[in-house]
Structure 1
Amino acid sequence: MASSSGITTTSSGGSGSGSGSGLYPVQSSGSEPDLQHLMDQRKRKRMISNRESARRSRKRKQKHLDDLTAQVSQLRKVNDDIMANVSITTQHYMSVEAENHVLRVQVAELSHHLQSLNDIIALIQSSMDPTGFTDEQYGWGSGNAFVVDEFMNNSLSYLSATQPILASSVDTFMY
């Protein structure tokens, strides 16, 4: 006799015992109800196993979803931090750019002022003869020539000391 579960059992009427060719041998006495009971047992075990497997699968999916949600939260926080840093850096850049603009204007003004002072010095030097100022031309006595020469020497040393600084001021503000 064949069963729907793929187990074939045979029974012999002479000896009163049966031999099974499947995994589970079935006795001949009451074999149909025993076979049905065995099939129901297997069905219940499969159903329980399937339910347990589905429960584990749902649990894995939920854990994966929770992990992805936590990762999204962490990435949003990192993104917010990056955006805040970009904002701070942009503000700092704008501040430095404004300061650079002010410094460029000051350099232009100081360069113009330096050029004016150099023009004055050139004018004064062109009006001097090799021995100093002509006292008669300005109505000065001979004692004042030393004061004018001292003023000129101090002014020239000041200008020569500041001129290289102005020439290298652009380099000092480079990052």
Structure 2
Amino acid sequence: MASSSGNSSISTKFHSSGSEEDLQLPMDQRKRKRKQSNCESARRSRMRKQKHFDDLNVQVERLTKENSEILNRVNLTTQHYVNVEAENCILRAQMGELSQRLQSLNAIISLINTTTTTGICQNDCFLTIADNFMNPMNMHYLNQPIVASAEVFQW
């Protein structure tokens, strides 16, 4: 009996060891499947990261180009503004000069009008009534261009 129990223990040993192998086989397969699944998941994750990185690079290039175009437009607009401002400065100066000339001419006309209406100014005025260009006797002067020297406009 000892031998049969020994055999029995040996066969139990083999049998229990065989059942552990049976249990180990699915565990190994599960580990392998899990490992393969994890590798596949990691590969997909790396691919997503790479795609995200590539998308960000494309966005950086697009934004850099857009920024450059905006900067060019700003520079062009600034140059246009400087040119317009310089032209405005010139026009303001010309307007001031023309305003002064207009005031001078209005003063001359006012003086002429006061001398023709009063009749006084025989010796004090630079124009006599006979020389006045508004005099109907001097209408032939209307067809001729009026020429004035620069000294008349300088005060």
Report the TM-score when normalising by structure 2.
Answer: 0.67
CA offset at residue 29 of structure 1? 8.6
Shift in CA distance, 151/109, structure 1 to aligned 2, threshold 3 Å? farther
SS of residue matched to 2:116: coil
Which amino acid counterpart does residue 146 of structure 1 have in structure 2? P
Shift in CA distance, 139/88, structure 1 to aligned 2, threshold 3 Å? closer
Unaligned stretches of 5+ residues in structure 1:
1-12, 14-26, 153-175
- Is 1:145 equivalent to 2:132 in the alignment? no
Cα distance in 1 for partners of 2:76, 2:107 equals 46
Q: What residue in structure 2 maps to residue 127 of structure 1?
A: 115
1:92 is matched with which residue: 63, 70, 80?
80
- Please say which of residues 103-112 and 30-39 is displaced more in the overlay: 30-39
What do the CA deviations read for 1:116-175 (whole angstroms, capped 9, x no partner)?
1111111111211379x98xx84849xx931546879xxxxxxxxxxxxxxxxxxxxxxx
1:63 is matched with which residue: 51, 56, 76?
51
CA offset at residue 30 of structure 1? 2.3
* 4+ residue segments displaced more than 3 Å: 137-141, 147-152
Shift in CA distance, 148/97, structure 1 to aligned 2, threshold 3 Å? farther
Shift in CA distance, 147/39, structure 1 to aligned 2, threshold 3 Å? farther
- Greater percentage in helix: 2
Structure with higher RCO (Cα < 8 A, 6+ apart): 2
Q: What residue in structure 1 maps to residue 102 of structure 2?
A: 114
- Is 1:101 equivalent to 2:89 in the alignment? yes
Report the TM-score when normalising by structure 1.
Answer: 0.60
Give the RMSD, CA atoms, in angstroms: 3.2
CA offset at residue 68 of structure 1? 1.1
Cα distance in 2 for partners of 1:147, 1:87 equals 64
Percent of matched pairs sharing the same residue: 53
SS of residue matched to 2:117: coil
